[in-house]
Chain A
Amino acid sequence: MTPLFRQAVVDYLVSTYTLSFGLLVSAIGAWSWFLDSKAASEPREAKIYRLLGVSFTVAGLGGAAVLKILM
Chain B
Amino acid sequence: MYRNNDTISVLQFIAILIIVIFDVQVLEMPRDLAEAVGPDGWFVLALLTVLAAGLLWCWLRLGSMFPTKGIVGTLQEILGKPMGWGLGAVLLILWLGQTARVARMGVGVVQASLLERTPGEITTIVFLLGALFMARKGVEPLGRMATLVALAALSVAALLPLLTWAETQWLNLRPILQGGIIPELRTTVRLAGRLGGLLIPLILLPMVKGKPKEKKALIPAIVTFVAIPAFVLNLFTLAVFGPRQTSLLLRPGLEVVASIEMPTIFVERLTVFYVGAWTLMIFMDLSIYLYLLSQIAGELFQISESTPLTSFMVPVVYLISRVPANDLAVRFFSKYISWATGAYYLVILGVFLVALIRGFRPQQEGRNT
Contacts and interface: CB of A to CB of B under 8 A. Distances in A.
A2 interface: no
Contact of B305 (A21, A45, A56, A60): A45
Interface stretch (B25-33, B309-317, B334-342): B309-317
A49 B307 CA distance: 11
Contacts of B312: 28, 32, 52, 56
Contacts of B304: 42, 45
A36 B3 CA distance: 12
Interface residues of A, number: 20
B148 interface: no
B301 A31 contact: no
Contacts of A17: 319
B322 interface: yes
Contacts of A21: 121, 125, 315, 318
A40 B309 CA distance: 12
A25 B303 CA distance: 22
Contacts of B314: 28
Contact of B308 (A24, A42, A49, A60): A49
B2 interface: yes
The SS class assigned to the B binding surface is loop
A10 interface: no
A28 B311 contact: yes
Contacts of A48: 301, 303
A66 interface: no
B331 to A, nearest CB: 19
A5 interface: no
Interface in A21-67: 21, 24-25, 28, 31-32, 36, 39-42, 45, 48-49, 52, 56, 60
A34 B31 CA distance: 48
A7 interface: no
B3 A41 contact: yes
Nearest to B319: A16
Q: Size class of B's contact patch? A: 10 to 19
B299 to A, nearest CB: 13
Contacts of B311: 28, 31-32, 36
A17 B55 CA distance: 39
A31 B133 CA distance: 13
Residue among B2, B315, B318 facing the most chain A CB atoms (10 A cut-off): B315
Contacts of B315: 21, 24-25, 28, 56, 60
A45 B311 CA distance: 15
B1 interface: yes
Contact of B303 (A12, A24, A39, A45): A45
A41 B305 contact: yes
A31 B2 CA distance: 14
A24 B3 contact: no
Given A32-B311, A42-B305, A45-B303, A16 B1 contact: no
Contacts of A40: 1-2, 305, 308
A36 B308 contact: yes
A41 B5 CA distance: 14
Nearest to A35: B308
Residue among B1, B301, B305 facing the most chain A CB atoms (10 A cut-off): B305
B353 interface: no
B323 interface: yes
Contacts of B301: 48
A31 B315 CA distance: 14
A16 B323 CA distance: 9
7 contacts: A28-B312, A39-B2, A39-B305, A40-B2, A40-B308, A45-B305, A49-B308
Q: Which 8 A-B pairs have the closest CB atoms?
A: A36-B308, A39-B1, A28-B311, A16-B322, A25-B315, A45-B303, A40-B305, A45-B305
